[in-house]
Amino acid sequence: MTQTSPPLRLAILGAGARGAETYGRWLLRHPDRGRVVAVADPLRARRDQLADSAGLAPGDRFDDWRPLLAAADRLHLDAVVVALPDREHVAPTLAAAELGLVVLLEKPAAVTPVDLETLADGARRLKARIGVGHVLRFTPFWQTVHAVVSSGAIGGLVTALIEENIGFWHFAHSYVRGNWRRADLSSPMVLAKTCHDLDLIRWLAGSPPKTVTSVGSLSYFTAQNAPPGAPGRCLDGCPHAESCPFFAPRFYLDHLADVDRWPVSALGSDTSSEGRLESLRVGPYGRCVFHSDNDVADHQQTVLEFPAGLTATLSVSAFTGENTRTVRLTGTAGEIAGHLDSGNITVELFGPLAQLPDLPRASVLRETARPPLGHRVIELSAVAPPAAAFRGDAGGYVLGHAGGDDALMDAFVSSVRDAESQQAFSASLEESLDSHRMAFAAERSRLEGRVVRWDETVQG
């Protein structure tokens, strides 16, 4: 976009945690880059909150995405953000692409193999310009890791291990009580939660895998594990209120008392103490974690074998204190280890003449030599800029995916009027869809107890 270009005109489809609190908020902070000119959401309070902040007229507020897209010409839209529930992604994306609009599509792009191929075929046919919300790719951390790998500094990749540490409270919130608790309402956890990680693996590997194998289960958040006498809801006199790590009032009334954004906003539009209490009395977030109707796995390990010989392992667990990712990559000429939220990355280079590439998103903290041969060990820091990190307003944990949310939106908005960056987005669409195919293969492997070949997955 040139300096003189007017701000883009964007519509937000789905004014929830992502549409309003993440992307809408970014646009409100960058009015010179893009404006929210229409909002669709059936929940009036959510719709109006974003629409009021953007100063929208009543006619530019819609209770469904369909009438909004039907008014696209009148609204002079450039792009739309599809931040609807998981099962409402394919139809609005293709409808917007038919209108020639650029789309930022939240992950998961689709929740079944058939829907995914419908999206992929439609996108190819329409030469659609679609970016998928794989925000982690845009973080300084993963950009740095990818730059080191693609420079060849650590040689050919041999193993990759990514650990997705969901965090016990986050898993209870989203995957036991919340929107992603049941595969039939949203999608399997390996897609809903870890398509990001599979996308990173696909990006680092440079190709789709040959085979996918996965094991895991819902092992803990079941009725059999309920402590004696635990009622269906935390507020119904639970005798374990003091000791249970998942006691909902402690989350939402005590520790998150000062937060009114995600995760508290998921409870409802009234985030006062009374509103929260009422929501815990009657809504899903007040349920005992052992008496919910959840069925998605709470831990899963997936092994992927790639044509060039790389084997990658993705290990995901609900039972972690931190809510972050860690990575360990071994290559024929070096090794990388890193921790997403701290931004710390350690690179070991085996060859005496090996060099790191330019790493614009990281700084070198120190360099040492590891005995006995004295090979180089370089410690890097790749942290999100403070303005992008959204730190602090939720009791210290990091919102904004380590800077990825802001960086994705920045890249997306820049790409709408820039053919070269649009090409990069379109190329990443195919890779992003591969990450979904990898997730479908993993789930199939887990459920059928066998190795799944890549060609089976693409055929659905």
What is the contact surface with ligand NAD in residues (CB under 6 A)? 13-19, 40-43, 46, 64-65, 83-86, 88, 106-107, 133, 135, 179, 192, 401
The token pair at 26 is 């970014």
The least distance separating ligand NAD from the CB of residue 153, rounded to whole angstroms, comes to 29
Main-chain phi, psi angles of 448, to 5 degrees: -95, -10
Decide if 244 contacts 238 (C-beta within 8 A): yes
Nearer to ligand NAD, 128 or 135 (CB): 135
For residues 298 and 348, which CB has a smaller minimum distance to ligand NAD in the complex? 298
CB of 357 to ligand NAD, least distance (A): 28
Closest CB to ligand NAD among residues 297, 356: 297
Residue nearest to ligand NAD (CB): 16
Report in angstroms how near the CB of residue 256 gets to ligand NAD at its nearest. 16
Cβ distance to ligand NAD smaller for residue 92 or 334 = 92
CB of 43 to ligand NAD, least distance (A): 4
For the bound state, the minimum distance from the C-beta of residue 21 to ligand NAD, rounded and expressed in Å, comes to 7
Task: Check the CA dihedral 145-146-149-152 and report its sign.
Answer: negative
Which CB sits closer to ligand NAD, 111 or 230?
Answer: 111
Query: What's the closest the beta carbon of residue 178 comes to ligand NAD, in angstroms?
Result: 9
Question: For residues 135 and 264, which CB has a smaller minimum distance to ligand NAD in the complex?
Answer: 135
Length of the chain counted residue by residue: 460
What is the closest distance, in whole angstroms, from the C-beta atom of residue 238 to ligand NAD in the complex? 27
Orientation angle between helical segments 113-126 and 90-98, nearest 10 degrees: 10
For ligand NAD, which is the closer residue by CB, 211 or 320? 320
Q: How far is the CB of 20 from ligand NAD (least distance, A)?
A: 8
Q: CB nearer to ligand NAD: give 159 or 179.
A: 179
Q: How far is the CB of 119 from ligand NAD (least distance, A)?
A: 13
* Nearer Cβ to ligand NAD (107/437): 107
CA distances from 314 to 51, 248, 329, 343 (A): 40, 30, 12, 20
- Long-range CB contacts (within 8 A, 24+) of 440-443: 440/112, 440/113, 440/116, 440/191, 441/209, 441/212, 441/214, 442/190, 442/198, 442/212, 442/214, 442/300, 442/302, 443/188, 443/190, 443/191, 443/214
Task: Provide the minimum distance between the beta carbon of 328 and ligand NAD in the complex, in angstroms, as a whole number.
Answer: 22
Judged by CB, which is closer to ligand NAD: 50, or 280?
A: 50
Instruction: Compare residues 263 and 331 and give the one whose CB is closer to ligand NAD.
Output: 263
- Measured from the CB of residue 369, what is the shortest distance to ligand NAD in angstroms? 39
